[in-house]
């Protein structure tokens, strides 16, 4: 038996968490002078309401190693545990899980997804499906590594407001970007970090260019699952979903709320597309 554990930055729909009996170890979210445990006493919707009304950018903190050790210790040595974490290039969660491994006597493996949001989640789903089919942990890790390394992740920033709040852009630059209606596309690069891919003026050109980039990344999408997460702009996400289905005929398109960890980067009306 293989048990799947992950951290709360995973933006999996609740029905899939329940279907595969996935355990979440929560990150801490600090916002408005209060600390919350992500998805324990703070839902994504509640997080975005608080973030959009705050002048200070929220902060997220990885779970303590002891939290992972406790989660691991709940299972016997007869159970193999696979823990998939958010990218080590975005958070210290992977390192925390590795230390938790040393504190625990459980039989488990920590896997760095080198991804966030549904890019992280698609790997969890792949692992759960393979485990359900009876594949060995070794086979699952090999499959996941190949899947992870071929995955594309695009981060779509409709506004640069959170980049300004985080101090990575001056208020003047942020105001200029707003006046010029500049949108930004970032992509995951080696090491699981994200870098700017393109800057585009206007929402229509922005949406069109996103679809062009996706088309450039593969010849056949019929066996691919797309994951789209959003920061409350469900209509935009559903529009992109319809366009992906019409243009590329993928295996499946999942849509979900973005959690606090990636939502802090994406900001208002941001989206992340993984495939």
Q: Which two tokens stand for residue 3?
A: 């048990």
Domain limit, last residue, from 124, 150, 176:
150
DSSP E strands in the chain: the ranges are: 2-7, 23-25, 28-31, 34-37, 59-61, 80-85, 107-112, 153-157, 182-188, 194-201, 225-230, 252-257, 271-274
Q: Which two tokens stand for residue 142?
A: 């090999």
The verdict on 9 and 143 lying in the same domain is yes
Residue-range definition of the domain harbouring residue 86:
2-27+62-150
Q: How far apart are the first and last CA of the chain?
A: 28
> Mean pLDDT of all residues in the chain?
90
> What CATH number is attached to the domain comprising 188?
3.30.1180.10
Residues 180-210 have pLDDT tens digits of 578 889 999 888 888 889 899 888 999 999 9
Q: In which band, very low, low, confident or very high, does the pLDDT at 3 lie, cut at 50, 70 and 90?
A: very high
Is residue 174 in a domain? yes
In this prediction, residue 174 carries a pLDDT of: 47
- The structure tokens listed for 22 are 């996935």
> What CATH code is carried by the domain that includes residue 88?
3.40.50.10170
Q: 118, 150, 182 — which closes off a domain?
A: 150
Cα separation, 28 vs 78, whole angstroms: 31
123 and 179 together in one domain? no
Closest Cα partner for 119 from 267, 258, 21, 264?
258
Are 105 and 159 in a shared domain? no
State how far the Cα of 3 lies from the Cα of 268, in Å rounded to an integer: 35
Do 269 and 231 form a contact (C-beta atoms < 8 A)?
Answer: yes
Give the tens place of pLDDT for each residue, 210-268.
Answer: 999 999 999 999 999 999 999 999 999 999 999 999 999 999 999 999 988 888 888 88
Residue 35 lies in a domain: no
Q: Which pLDDT value is given to residue 248?
A: 97
């Amino acid at each position: 038996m293989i048990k799947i554990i992950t951290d709360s930055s995973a933006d999996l729909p609740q029905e899939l968490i329940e279907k595969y009996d996935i355990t979440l170890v929560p990150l801490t979210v600090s916002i408005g002078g209060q600390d919350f445990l992500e998805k324990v006493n703070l839902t994504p919707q509640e997080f975005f309401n608080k973030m959009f009304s705050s002048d200070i950018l929220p902060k997220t903190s990885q779970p303590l190693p002891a939290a992972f050790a406790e989660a691991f210790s709940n299972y016997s040595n007869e159970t193999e545990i696979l823990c998939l974490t958010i990218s080590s290039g975005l958070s210290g969660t992977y390192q925390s899980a590795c230390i938790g491994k040393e504190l625990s006597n459980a039989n488990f493996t920590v896997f760095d997804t080198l991804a966030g949001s549904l890019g992280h989640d698609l790997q969890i789903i792949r692992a759960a499906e393979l485990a359900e089919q009876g594949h060995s942990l070794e086979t699952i890790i090999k499959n996941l590594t190949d899947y992870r390394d071929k995955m594309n992740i695009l981060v779509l920033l409709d506004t640069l407001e959170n980049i300004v709040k985080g101090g990575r852009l001056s208020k003047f630059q942020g105001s200029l970007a707003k006046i010029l209606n500049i949108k930004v596309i970032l992509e995951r690069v080696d090491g699981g970090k994200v870098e700017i891919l393109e800057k585009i003026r206007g929402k229509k050109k922005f949406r069109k260019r996103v679809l062009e980039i996706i088309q450039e990344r593969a010849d056949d999408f019929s066996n691919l699952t797309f994951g789209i997460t959003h920061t409350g702009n469900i209509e935009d996400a559903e529009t992109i979903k319809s366009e992906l289905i019409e243009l590329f005929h993928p295996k499946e398109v999942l849509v979900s709320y973005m959690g606090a960890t990636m939502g802090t980067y994406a900001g208002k009306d941001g989206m992340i597309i993984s495939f």
